[in-house]
């Protein structure tokens, strides 16, 4: 969470916008941005994406930081083995000032030296965080997809696994959004990179449950339940199931108290 907050503050600085300015350019209020930027509340993923776009930062990296923070605050990070966050955002460029040629060369040399040191430090940290075992061949991918925001599984190797820890939730498609009678929101999500789908919910209450299955398939029902107040204030996810274009996904919401089951469907494009 601290890494995400620091990155969001840096992005805000890059935009040059005040809290009121952010509120004017996004669907989120000034008070909401104050909470997000001070670490009082985990921002919605969409708010992070909006700020990244305003600052000209690649959305995929920002989302990776958000996914890790969301897993940590919900308590899933410890049990699901969320990997370490990527290095911090690069510092904003220093404004040019009038100076003698010799002074400019000195500043440039210091900047190059600082960049080299930062890169070396990042490599050392990355090597220390590497696991001491080799991944199985089924879960191995070329180095070009090994970034934090890249998927760590594909299709069959993703079955029954978390979209957060497998990094399949970086840039998924939303197949359907449904608002329940209790005010909770349920979404069907699909990752073309991973070839999988899952259901997520936010705004639920402790004891609320979501379930998902694939029409015409005998695969097990995937479910998730709100267990704590933290999860009630953020997202919960089902594990993933393999889906291909044309697949119809059936999802249900089961409230803890009051009201009956609410179900809806979505189709993979």
With contact defined as beta carbons under 8 Å apart, do 205 and 226 qualify? yes
Mind listing the pLDDT tens digit for each residue in 238-259?
999 999 999 999 999 999 987 8
Token pair recorded at residue 245: 């274009």
Q: 109 CB contacts (<8 Å, ≥6 apart)?
A: none
Is the pLDDT assigned to residue 156 strictly greater than 50?
A: yes
Model-level pTM greater than 0.85? no
Q: Helix-strand-coil percent breakdown of the chain, rounded to 5?
A: 40, 20, 45
pLDDT of the residue at 171: 75
Instruction: Give CA separation, 250 vs 38, 199, 212, in Å.
Output: 38, 10, 6
CA distance 243 to 44: 26
Residue 96, classified by CB atoms within 10 Å of its CB into exposed (0-12), middle (13-18) or buried (19+), is exposed
The structure tokens 């997202």 sit at: 235
Overall average pLDDT of the 27-47 stretch: 89
Kindly tell me if the per-residue pLDDT of 144 is higher than 80.
no
Predicted local distance difference test score (pLDDT) of residue 34 = 92
Rounded average pLDDT over 5-21: 88
Mean confidence (pLDDT) of the chain: 77
pLDDT of residue 138: 33
Query: Mind listing the pLDDT tens digit for each residue in 81-132?
Result: 444 445 455 555 444 444 445 555 555 555 555 554 555 555 444 444 444 3
- More confident: 18 or 89: 18
């Amino acid at each position: 969470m601290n890494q995400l907050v620091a990155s969001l503050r840096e992005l805000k600085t890059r935009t040059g916008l005040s809290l009121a300015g952010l509120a004017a350019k996004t669907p989120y209020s000034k008070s909401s941005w104050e909470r997000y930027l001070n670490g009082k509340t985990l921002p919605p993923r969409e708010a992070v994406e909006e700020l990244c776009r305003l600052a000209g930062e690649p959305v995929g990296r920002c989302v990776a930081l958000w996914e890790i923070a969301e897993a940590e605050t919900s308590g899933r990070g410890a049990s699901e083995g969320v990997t370490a966050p990527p290095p911090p955002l690069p510092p904003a460029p220093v404004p040019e000032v009038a100076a003698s040629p010799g002074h400019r060369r000195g500043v440039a040399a210091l900047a190059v030296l600082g960049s080299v040191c930062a890169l070396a430090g990042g490599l050392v940290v990355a090597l220390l965080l590497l696991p001491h075992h080799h991944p199985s061949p089924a879960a191995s991918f070329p180095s070009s997809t090994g970034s934090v925001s890249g998927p760590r599984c594909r299709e069959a190797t993703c079955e029954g696994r978390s979209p957060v820890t497998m990094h399949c939730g970086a840039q998924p498609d939303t197949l359907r959004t449904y608002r329940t009678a209790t005010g909770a929101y349920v979404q069907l999500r699909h990752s073309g990179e991973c070839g999988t789908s899952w259901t997520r919910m936010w705004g639920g209450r402790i004891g609320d449950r979501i379930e998902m299955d694939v029409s015409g398939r005998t695969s097990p029902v995937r479910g998730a339940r709100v267990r704590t107040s933290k999860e009630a204030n953020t997202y919960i996810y089902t594990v993933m199931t393999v889906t291909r274009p044309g697949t119809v996904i059936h999802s249900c919401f089961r409230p803890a108290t009051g009201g009956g089951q609410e179900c809806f469907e979505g189709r993979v494009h």
